[in-house]
């Protein structure tokens, strides 16, 4: 009798050719049901990721589209403030207090006694209220040379020196206000630039008037070249001193 003991085989166990049906799964292998479930989970996860990527791409595409440029609004461009010219820009007929502005028909315009300095002559332009009523006058007159026997303007109109304050002047009948005019000598300039010509006198617009008067003066020489400025009104109208 041998010393080895015989051990019973496991129940249901067979030889190496025994069937696997009804037996436990082999270690390391996933059951078929779990495997299918895992595959579906992976597929769903991939679909979800793709949907998220698609949504993110659409959002990015919409956000990256340039906003439409608004159509420009037509605006009226502001012109720069022009250099004051002697041509009146107001036809005001009364002041805030109700006193009417002196008109050409109510004024006598004359030249006072000239005075000279080196290279210039100063002419007071006198405005006298010749009417029987009170009127008001303030600001700068417009002045230019005229000649050729027909009132043709010669050269540039007078500039305004606005360093002096403008005051309201109420003129009783017979009252006078004065604006001072500086006349540079035409001889200060090269004749080819100046194109000098003897003037017949001055055309004067009272302040705030669209009508002018002619003041004769045969002692004036103008420059016909409008780029040469010989005339400057150095003070607004003010009571005669």
- Check pLDDT > 90 for residue 40: no
pTM of the model: 0.61
pLDDT digits (tens, 9 = 90+) for 183-225: 999 999 999 999 999 999 999 999 999 999 999 999 999 999 9
pLDDT digits (tens, 9 = 90+) for 112-157: 999 988 899 999 999 999 999 999 999 999 999 999 999 999 999 9
Cα distance between residue 95 and residue 119, in whole Å = 39
Contact predicate 127/137, CB 8 Å:
yes
181 found inside a domain? yes
Determine if residue 35 is left, alpha or beta; phi over 0 gives left, psi from -120 to 50 gives alpha, anything else beta.
alpha
Cα distance between residue 203 and residue 148, in whole Å = 13
Cα distance between residue 112 and residue 123, in whole Å = 6
The CATH code of the domain that includes 178 is: 2.60.40
25 found inside a domain? no
98 found inside a domain? no
138 found inside a domain? yes
209 found inside a domain? yes
148 found inside a domain? yes
- Domain with 130, as residue range(s), is 104-239
pLDDT digits (tens, 9 = 90+) for 91-110: 334 455 689 999 999 999 99
Number of domains in the chain: 1
3-class DSSP state of 237: coil
Cα distance between residue 174 and residue 178, in whole Å = 13
């Amino acid at each position: 009798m041998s010393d080895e003991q015989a051990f019973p085989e496991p129940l249901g166990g067979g030889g190496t050719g025994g069937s696997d049906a009804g037996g436990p799964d082999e270690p390391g292998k996933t059951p078929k049901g779990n495997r299918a479930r895992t595959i579906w989970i992976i597929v769903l996860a991939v679909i979800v990721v793709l949907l998220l990527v698609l949504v993110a791409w659409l959002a990015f595409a919409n956000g990256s589209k340039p906003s439409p440029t608004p159509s420009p609004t037509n605006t009226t461009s502001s012109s720069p403030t022009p250099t004051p010219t002697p041509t009146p820009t107001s036809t005001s007929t009364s002041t805030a207090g109700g006193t009417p502005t002196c008109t050409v028909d109510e004024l006598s315009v004359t030249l006072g006694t000239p005075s000279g300095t080196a290279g210039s002559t100063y002419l007071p332009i006198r405005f006298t209220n010749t009417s029987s009523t009170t009127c008001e006058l303030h600001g700068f007159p417009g002045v230019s040379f005229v000649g050729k026997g027909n009132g043709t303007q010669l050269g540039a109109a007078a500039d305004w020196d606005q360093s002096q304050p403008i005051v309201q002047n109420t003129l009783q009948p017979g009252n006078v206000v004065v604006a001072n005019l500086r006349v540079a000598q035409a001889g200060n300039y090269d004749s080819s630039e100046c194109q000098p010509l003897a003037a017949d006198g001055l055309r004067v617009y009272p302040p705030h008037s669209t009508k002018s008067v002619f003041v004769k003066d045969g002692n004036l020489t103008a420059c016909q070249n409008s780029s040469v400025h010989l005339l400057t009104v150095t003070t607004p109208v003010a009571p005669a001193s």
